[in-house]
Chains A and B, each alone.
Chain A
Amino acid sequence: MSLLTVRDLRVEFKTPDGVVKAVAGVSYDLNPGETLALVGESGSGKSVSNLAYMGLLPASRTTITGSVILETTSGPVELIGMSNEELRKIRGKDIAMIFQDPMSALHPYYTIGDQLIEAHQVHNEVDKKVSRERAIELLSLVGVANPEERLAAYPHQFSGGMRQRVMIAMALMNNPKVLIADEPTTALDVTVQAQILKLLSDLQKQFNMAVILITHDLGVVAGAADRVNVMYGGRLVESTDVNELYENPLMPYTVGLLDSIPRMDKGHGKRLRAIPGQPPSLIKLGDGCAFAARCGRKSELPEGKCDTSPELKEVTAGHLVRCHLYDSKGAAK
């Protein structure tokens, strides 16, 4: 049973230059307890697709269509089109989020105790002391020493890694079923990154949560994810389990991403290859394949083929790809 069922999610922004199709029809399932990575470069729609159904985008300029169904204790609920007040009760309770920059994601003027307790109080009608106990418990779970004293500290008195631990503690205050981690390690030192990812994966088991890990870093994905959705131009272009992705990437974009990261096992002294060109403008995006302009294997296809949009197809069991090169199952190699 899928915990979060996303179907044909579309997000459009009205801007003075035209309509930006930030997310153009994304569908996937999130199963309980799994880690799903959303990978892509800036502007691929990986963050926006999640902020959208959480109601965290400015409502006046945003159009959201499609369906996102969350399985709750009282049955499935549709998040798209839900009133702000109903959605508010799900935010931070069933679905919690942590963000990229822990330096700015905590309010500088309130103690972390205040901010943690507030996160619990808003969804639970309990005495403040109960919330305080919960805050101490979670701070110690995420590895903050002397949690009881640290409640009185302000965010600026913590290091970046410690602040991200506090953010994680805050997200877990209400035992969420889904944790959306939006680039949780991007702003941190590499050594701290590893600690935070380890912490997330430990807590995930302990809390039995599903995690949506949004990142552009395939190195992070390799260690942390079960399944990977690669996004490009507001669409899923490849979706498979993590081992299959690294061993047998299909979409030229995914191949390019993998070629652009340094690897210990792929020979030393080789130059890293970058993907040529720029991400596409989401305003002018036409009907054709969004990646065509940057695709190195375009010549393998008949003239004009790339002017039509490829469909997301299952090429081998559990491995989906949106690419004309794989129009007939397993054809190209």
Chain B
Amino acid sequence: MNGLATYISRRLGLTLVILLAVSFAVYVIFSLLPYDPAALTCGKNCNDPGIIEANRIRLGYDKPFWEQYWLFLSGLFVGRSFGTGAAAIFCPAPSFGYSFQQHACVTSLLGDALPVTVYLAVGALILWLIVGVGLGIVSAKFRGKLWDTLSTGFVLVGTSLPTFLTGLMLIIFLVIKWDGSPFPSDGYTAPDEDFGQFLLSMVLPWITLAFAFAAIYTRFVRSQILEISTEDYIRTAKAKGLSDGKILGKHTLRAALAPIVTMAGLDFAGLLGGAILTEAVFNLPGMGRLSLKAVVDIDLPVIVATTILAAAIVVVMNMILDIAYAFIDPRVRV
């Protein structure tokens, strides 16, 4: 397996280079924005040049671009102090900067938001994989029959209903109109606070988010299975006398695994950057809501951080998928 080790280390190196490029690109874009970051730190109606200039120096916005970028990068590894003396604020590594609007280190904001989004994405992923793969198999197996028609209907509804509508309908019918509904109407409860309440607060968001994905996956899995069923090696399996169940379970699904894993990995990575609509509808304090709030407030350090983090998650997931491929597909190993 020496080849595999080389492959993985080469892939890791490449990922680091891409991450560096991504962070640079994002940093450049946000420095080019027509906002004075120092002016933004003291609020909308603040015109006191004294405060603005003091904050400019405190946050390092007086320095040339390259130095700012360097301070940002080194902050990720060693932490960073803003200001000097007693008034200094230290954000420990990995520091993504300091948000004046929220009076907090960006990293601690991310640390609060990311777990919520992770819980949301993981639960939804499990739900949509079960429903999507299950219905896809049923649909392919009973192609053209009642089950296939029903599942095609589900696909149509799932892909056409926008997330905010599904979410709002669930809230109206399962929370507001249902007296004694077990689902809370007041948003998120952390799992270490009250695990039962956490589950209840997440069920509807999970369903909302998984619904659209489950529809897409049903269609995808169905078409994958039907396509693989026409492969020569499936005919070989039939000619051997294997049962339909064994052919589907062992030969067809095994071949469908790689494309399904790829698609699920990328969708999951995309969600970790923030499921903005779902989080907004259910008032979940996740990455999506953090990004949305930052954009509305023009909170530049937070926008830079969430953008880089979302991109980094996708890049890292790509690397994980590439490595996973080496285990899924023996032809990639060599």
Chain A residues with a Cβ under 8 A of chain B: 54-56, 60, 84-85, 88-93, 96-97, 99, 101, 104-110, 118-119, 122-123, 154, 156, 167, 170
Residues B290-334 near A (CB distance < 8 A):
328-331
B330–A156 contact, CB under 8 A?
A: yes
A101–B242 contact, CB under 8 A?
A: no
Enumerate 21 A-B pairs (CB-CB under 8 Å) in ascending A order.
Answer: A54-B239, A85-B243, A88-B242, A92-B240, A93-B241, A97-B239, A99-B232, A101-B232, A104-B231, A107-B255, A108-B255, A109-B254, A109-B255, A109-B328, A109-B329, A110-B254, A118-B242, A119-B240, A119-B241, A122-B240, A170-B240
B276 interface contact, C-beta 8 A? no
A118–B233 contact, CB under 8 A?
A: no
Chain B residues with a Cβ under 8 A of chain A: 144, 231-233, 235-244, 246, 251, 254-255, 328-331
B330–A99 contact, CB under 8 A?
A: no
A108–B239 contact, CB under 8 A?
A: no
6 closest A-B pairs by beta carbon, nearest first, are A92-B241, A104-B232, A91-B241, A92-B240, A107-B233, A154-B330
Closest CB-CB distance, A172 to chain B, in whole Å? 12
B241–A89 contact, CB under 8 A?
A: yes
**Complex Cα spacing A107 to B233, Å:** 5
**Complex Cα spacing A96 to B236, Å:** 10
Contacting residues, chain A, for B244 (C-beta < 8 A): 84
A92–B251 contact, CB under 8 A?
A: no
Contacting residues, chain A, for B236 (C-beta < 8 A): 99, 105-107, 167, 170
Contacting residues, chain A, for B241 (C-beta < 8 A): 88-93, 119, 122-123
The B interface, classified by DSSP as helix, strand, loop or mixed, is helix
A122–B242 contact, CB under 8 A?
A: yes
B235–A107 contact, CB under 8 A?
A: no
Among residues of B, the one whose C-beta sits closest to the C-beta of A96 is B239
Closest CB-CB distance, B284 to chain A, in whole Å? 39
A154–B331 contact, CB under 8 A?
A: yes
Closest CB-CB distance, B157 to chain A, in whole Å? 27
Contacting residues, chain B, for A119 (C-beta < 8 A): 240-241
Closest CB-CB distance, B215 to chain A, in whole Å? 26
Contacting residues, chain B, for A105 (C-beta < 8 A): 232-233, 235-236
Among residues of B, the one whose C-beta sits closest to the C-beta of A100 is B232
B232–A92 contact, CB under 8 A?
A: no
A91–B239 contact, CB under 8 A?
A: yes
Contacting residues, chain A, for B243 (C-beta < 8 A): 85, 88, 122
Among residues of A, the one whose C-beta sits closest to the C-beta of B328 is A109
Contacting residues, chain B, for A122 (C-beta < 8 A): 240-243, 246
